[in-house]
Amino acid sequence: MRRRTTIGSYLVKRLEEAGLKQIFGVPGDYVLGFYDLLVESPIEVIGTCTEGGAGFAADAYARVHGLGAICITYCVGGFNALNAVAGAYAEKSPLIVISGSPGLAERAKSPLLHHQVRGFNTQHLIFDQVCVASAALEDPLLAPQQIDETIAACIKRKRPVYLEIPRDMVHAECQAPKPFSIPREKSDRGSLKEALGEATELLRESKRPVILAGVEIHRFGLQESLLKLVKESGFPVAATLLGKSVISENHPEYIGVYEGAMGKESVRKTVEGADCVLILGAFMTDINLGINTAQLDLSKTINATSETISIKRHHYDHIVLRDFIEGLAKSELGSKKKRRLPSVPEPKPFRAISGKPMTIRRFFQRINQFLQEDSVVVCDIGDSLFGAIDLRIHKRTEFLSPAYYTSMGFAIPAALGVQVGSKRLRPLVFVGDGAFQMTFQELSTIARHGLNPIVFVLNNQGYTTERFINEGPYNDIKNWAYHELPSLLQEGWAREVHTENDLEEALEQVKKQKVYSLINVHLEKMDHSEALARLGRRLSKSVGKR
């Protein structure tokens, strides 16, 4: 006897076919029926402590594995996850949001149901603003097409989508699923030919071209296409901050992270001194541009993204980014003489000075030598990110941070998302004490699933970035005994670090740990990286004071 198809089973089937292996979330009564279907399926349900944690975890999972999903309940769950979904939208992370909602029949009987905010469609309307597609699955005749179109939009556009399923629709019968496929997008041939022609001419005429690679190279899986272009052209490559690790930082043509005046002077001079900057898949945000200190001449740029291609002041639409990059790789871009370029310096040898207090600069100098082939670096916002800019990432897509949306609290749940789908990867997590206090609960989820990230809490009892922008008592927080958390969670390993030799001892021991590890790194209140000092000076000019 053939099993009947319901809206809920149809959705689960499509999630499987899209390649989803895990889904994150917190259950609630409006979505329990759908949770039962998930439990019966091959998809593993990863229950988190908070919906916000589920959102961050699924976002990081999507960045590494290509697609993520969360399942939450109506309003009280959905709005808790909203910030993480907004961050995924801002930074182009493909995330499917599934929410339960009150049944259609009960809405007619009772106009006021628990969790309701305003109208029954309020949550849907709000999520529609931070998603590229959304649908309420309220009609069994329409639901299959709505599900297919919404999931396809997520995969094609690399941004969140929203599906809301009333609880009495989970088991409503619908048509059986047809073969699932997402047609590959095609470029408009005429536009592609003209864009490649103009870009090729500009690059041929240039004597000092540079590629600036951004986060869309990650999101759309274009690393091989980029490497082919670099090989064929010989052009040097810089990365934006959000695109860090888009190419191996051991690659001979890689010169470093470009971030205007915030970054290394040698990289800034090379990029801004180029007579043609080929920008590929980059968000030109204030952070990527060093808080608007970047000096890029529009008349010397080719700016190609998944949405449009701009060459000087000409714009071309309906061009697939992959087609443009691969078209350039096949083009004759002229003979480029080998130029003397700034190389990424080898990490300085670190020798611990006994009794010397730990500083952020010395900390990251030591960590550069600690990175392993299976390390994935996950950074929260602040000096956790700015101090880590100069870490040398060995492979690709091994550096995760919300470097554009800059939401604190990303790193701990992100480590969960990274490792739960690939336990061969061991996240190195850098998080300030302020950000840690926001989402540290997900260490419990990490422990429950037997994962072993290494968490470094950079502890200076406050919000470092804000201190450098505008100091005040509001930047201070309560100091915790972070290294005591394994006692609370009844699992894990932890140490305190006050000095350089403390760090040496902790790093030696942490290699042997099979459980999550937490290292509480004590820092002076105003200790900071060079990048943060430059950022603070820049931002403080825009903060009004009485």
Claim to verify: residue 369 and residue 487 sit in the same structural domain: yes
pLDDT value at residue 1: 45
Is 182 contained in some domain? no
Q: Which of 95, 73, 72, 100 is nearest to 85 (CA)?
A: 95
**Residue recorded with tokens 């206090």:** 437
CB 384 within 8 A of CB 523: no
**Tokens, residue 266:** 């040698």
Claim to verify: residue 160 and residue 214 sit in the same structural domain: no
Tell me the CATH number at 228.
3.40.50.1220
pLDDT value at residue 530: 78
More confident residue, 379 or 391: 379
Mean pLDDT for 36-51 is: 97
pLDDT value at residue 347: 66
Locate the DSSP E strands across 313-440: 314-316, 375-379, 399-400, 426-432
- Of the ranges 155-159, 167-171, 222-226, 534-538, which one carries the lowest mean pLDDT score? 534-538
pLDDT value at residue 116: 87
- Determine how many CB atoms are found less than 10 A away from the CB of residue 541: 8
544, pLDDT greater than 60:
no
343, pLDDT greater than 80:
no
Asked which of 107, 134, 166 is the last residue of a domain, the reply is 166
**Tokens, residue 141:** 């005749």
Mean pLDDT for 268-288 is: 87
- Rounded to the nearest integer, the mean pLDDT of the chain is 91
CB 536 within 8 A of CB 474: no
pLDDT value at residue 15: 98
Q: Which of 163, 98, 160, 156 is nearest to 135 (CA)?
A: 163
**Tokens, residue 451:** 């994962």
Is 1 contained in some domain? no
Q: Residue 288: give the domain boundaries.
A: 189-330
Main-chain dihedrals φ then ψ at residue 131, nearest 5 degrees:
-135, 155
CA dist., res. 385 & res. 382, Å (int): 6
Q: What is the pLDDT of residues 64-103, one digit of tens each?
A: 999 999 999 999 999 999 999 999 999 999 999 999 999 9
Alpha-carbon dihedral 53, 418, 428, 493, rounded to 10 degrees: 70
Is 355 contained in some domain? no
263, pLDDT greater than 90:
no
**Residue recorded with tokens 């209140």:** 525
Is 471 contained in some domain? yes
CA 225 to chain centroid = 21
Q: Say if strands 399-400 and 375-379 run parallel, antiparallel, or are unpaired.
A: parallel
pLDDT band at 113 (very low <50, low <70, confident <90, very high): confident
Q: Which of 91, 170, 74 is nearest to 127 (CA)?
A: 74
Counting residues of the chain whose pLDDT is more than 90, the rounded percentage is 70
pLDDT value at residue 248: 85
CA dist., res. 540 & res. 301, Å (int): 30
More confident residue, 410 or 390: 410
Q: What is the pLDDT of residues 472-492, one digit of tens each?
A: 899 999 999 999 999 999 999
pLDDT value at residue 39: 97
pLDDT value at residue 265: 82
**Tokens, residue 165:** 């399923």
Claim to verify: residue 373 and residue 229 sit in the same structural domain: no
pLDDT band at 538 (very low <50, low <70, confident <90, very high): low
Q: What is the pLDDT of residues 50-72, one digit of tens each?
A: 999 999 999 999 999 999 999 99
pLDDT value at residue 460: 93
Claim to verify: residue 386 and residue 309 sit in the same structural domain: no
pLDDT value at residue 110: 76
The torsion region of residue 168 among left (phi > 0), alpha (psi -120 to 50) and beta comes to alpha
Claim to verify: residue 162 and residue 255 sit in the same structural domain: no
pLDDT value at residue 345: 64
SS3 200: helix
Strand order in the sheet with 493-497: 399-400, 375-379, 426-432, 454-459, 517-522, 493-497
Is 354 contained in some domain? no
CB 91 within 8 A of CB 402: yes
Which pairs count as long-range contacts for 184-188, CB under 8 Å and 24+ apart, including other chains?
A: 185/156, 185/320, 186/320, 187/318, 187/319, 187/320, 187/323, 187/324, 188/317, 188/318, 188/319
pLDDT value at residue 296: 80
CA dist., res. 190 & res. 293, Å (int): 36
pLDDT value at residue 297: 80
Q: Which of 243, 18, 12, 44 is nearest to 153 (CA)?
A: 18
Claim to verify: residue 145 and residue 254 sit in the same structural domain: no
Claim to verify: residue 161 and residue 193 sit in the same structural domain: no
397, pLDDT greater than 60:
no
Amino acid type, 337:
K
SS3 229: helix
pLDDT band at 291 (very low <50, low <70, confident <90, very high): low
**Tokens, residue 495:** 């140490």
To the question of pTM greater than 0.85 for the whole model, the response is yes
DSSP 184: P
Main-chain dihedrals φ then ψ at residue 293, nearest 5 degrees:
-95, -5
Q: Which uninterrupted H or E stretch holds 71?
A: strand 68-72
Claim to verify: residue 259 and residue 388 sit in the same structural domain: no
Q: Which uninterrupted H or E stretch holds 70?
A: strand 68-72
Tell me the CATH number at 61.
3.40.50.970
192, pLDDT greater than 90:
yes
pLDDT value at residue 373: 74
CA dist., res. 25 & res. 48, Å (int): 6
Claim to verify: residue 140 and residue 195 sit in the same structural domain: no
Is 107 contained in some domain? yes
**Residue recorded with tokens 């608007």:** 292
Claim to verify: residue 160 and residue 233 sit in the same structural domain: no
pLDDT band at 49 (very low <50, low <70, confident <90, very high): very high
Is 2 contained in some domain? no
CA dist., res. 251 & res. 395, Å (int): 9
Is 463 contained in some domain? yes
pLDDT value at residue 546: 44
Label residues 251-290 b or e (16+ Cβ within 10 Å = b). Answer: eebbbbbbbbbbbbeebbebbbebebbbbbbbbebebbbb
342, pLDDT greater than 70:
no
Q: Which of 445, 441, 456 is nearest to 416 (CA)?
A: 445
CA dist., res. 17 & res. 104, Å (int): 28
350, pLDDT greater than 90:
no
Q: What is the pLDDT of residues 495-527, one digit of tens each?
A: 999 999 999 999 999 999 999 999 999 999 989
Claim to verify: residue 119 and residue 65 sit in the same structural domain: yes
Mean pLDDT for 242-269 is: 86
SS3 135: strand
Claim to verify: residue 162 and residue 199 sit in the same structural domain: no
pLDDT value at residue 543: 55
pLDDT value at residue 301: 92
Q: Say if strands 309-311 and 314-316 run parallel, antiparallel, or are unpaired.
A: antiparallel
Total domains, the chain: 3
Amino acid type, 475:
N
